[in-house]
Amino acid sequence: MTRDVSVTSHAGPIHWRSPVTEAAATKWVLIGIALAFLGFFLFLPLVAVFVEAFRGGVGVYLDAIVEPDALAAIRLTLIVAAIAVPANLVFGVAAAWAIAKFEFRGKTFLTTLIDLPFSVSPVISGLVYILLFGSHGIFGPWVEVSGIRIVFALPGIVLATIFVTFPFVARELIPLMQEQGTGDEEAALSLGASGFKTFLLVTLPNVKWALLYGVLLCNARAMGEFGAVSVVSGHIRGVTNTMPLHVEILYNEYAFQAAFAVASLLALLALLTLALKTLLEWRYADGIAAVRGH
C-alpha cells in the first residue's frame, strides 16, 4: 500500500510519497510480467523437453538412456565433473582467501583474470587448448613425443571444463570474505593458532554456505558445458562425447526422442542442483542468515 506523509511548510502542506512502495496494481503487473517471462522462456521449454522425451513411452525412453553410447557419454560427463569441480574448489578457495585477506601487488589483475572466462566465448577457450596441445600447437610435438594425449581425449576435456568453470567458486567466496574482514583470523592467530588451523576452524566455517553454492553452480556448469568441450573432444562417439555433445549428435541424426531423453537427464541434474540449494537454504536458514549478516 502506498504510504503518504504530509508535512506543513510556509508554502502549504507537502505530501511525501515513499520511494519504496507502489500501488497494488503496479505490483501485480510487475509480478505478472516476471511470471510470464519465466513461463515462456524457462518453464515451457523445460516441459517440452520432458514431453518429447516420453512421447514414445517409458520403454523407448529407457532404451535411449541405456544405449552404450549414451552410457559412455553419461560416464564421461560424471568423470569430468568429478575432476573439474574439486580442482576449482581448491583454486577458488585459495584465490578468494588471497584476494580477500591479503594486500599484494597485482591483486586487481588477479581478480580480472578470474572473471576472464565470463567474457571469453567457450569456443575460443577450446581453441586455445588446440593451439597449445594440438599436433601443430606450441607444445604439440613435445606432447606427441611424451606419449601423452591431451586434445581429443579426457585431459583436454577436463582442462577446457576447468577453464570455463573456475570463476564460480571464487566469485561466491570473494564478496563474503571481503565483507567479513580479517578480525576473526587475527583473533585466532593472536591466541596461538597456526595459519592452517585458523583457516580450517575459523575461515572455512564462516564461508561454508557460499562455498557450497559455488560448488553446486560449478558442478551444474561442468556437466552442461558444450562449446569448449566440443572443440577439444573431437566428437568421438562413445569415447569423447559428453552428454551435451551426445544430444547434438542424436539430434543431427534425427533421433529426436533419444536426443530429448538424454537432454532430460541434463535437465534433471539441473533441477536436482536447484532443489538441493533450496533445501539447504530452507533447512539451515538461520545459519545462512547469521553468516551473511556477520
pLDDT of amino acid 15: 54
Nine-digit cell string for 58: 517409458
**H helices of 134-166, where?**
140-146, 154-165
- The whole-angstrom separation of Cα 78 and Cα 70 is 12
Phi, psi (rounded to 5 degrees) for 138: -65, -45
Q: Which of 213, 215, 194, 192 is nearest to 203 (CA)?
A: 194
DSSP 8-state secondary structure symbol assigned to residue 41:
I
- The whole-angstrom separation of Cα 257 and Cα 64 is 8
Helices 208-224 and 68-101, packing angle to 10 deg: 140
CA atoms within 13 A on the CB side of 276: 15
Please report the DSSP string for 71-110 in residue order. Answer: HHHHHHHHHHHHHHHHHHHHHHHHHHHHHHH---TTHHHH
Q: Is the pTM of this model over 0.85?
A: no
CB atoms closer than 10 angstroms to residue 29: 12
Nine-digit cell string for 88: 576449482
Q: Residue 152, by phi and psi: left (phi above 0), alpha (psi -120 to 50) or beta?
A: left
Please report the DSSP string for 236-265 in residue order. Answer: -TTTT--HHHHHHHHHHTT-HHHHHHHHHH
Query: Percentage helix, strand, coil, to 5, in the chain?
Result: 75, 5, 20
CA atoms within 13 A on the CB side of 190: 6
Nine-digit cell string for 141: 610435438
pLDDT of amino acid 2: 46
Per-residue pLDDT of the chain (294 residues; tens, 9 = 90+): 445 555 555 555 555 555 556 677 888 899 999 999 989 988 898 899 999 999 989 999 999 999 999 999 999 999 999 999 999 999 999 999 888 888 888 888 888 889 889 888 899 989 999 999 988 888 888 887 888 889 999 999 999 999 999 899 998 898 888 888 878 888 888 888 887 888 888 888 888 888 888 898 899 899 999 999 999 998 888 899 999 999 999 999 999 999 999 999 999 988 888 888 788 777 766 655 655 555
- The whole-angstrom separation of Cα 294 and Cα 288 is 10
Nine-digit cell string for 223: 556437466
Q: Cβ(198)–Cβ(188) under 8 Å?
A: yes
270-292 burial: b if 16+ Cβ within 10 Å, else e: eeebeeeeeebeeeeeeebeebe
DSSP 8-state secondary structure symbol assigned to residue 3:
-
Q: Residue 12, by phi and psi: left (phi above 0), alpha (psi -120 to 50) or beta?
A: left
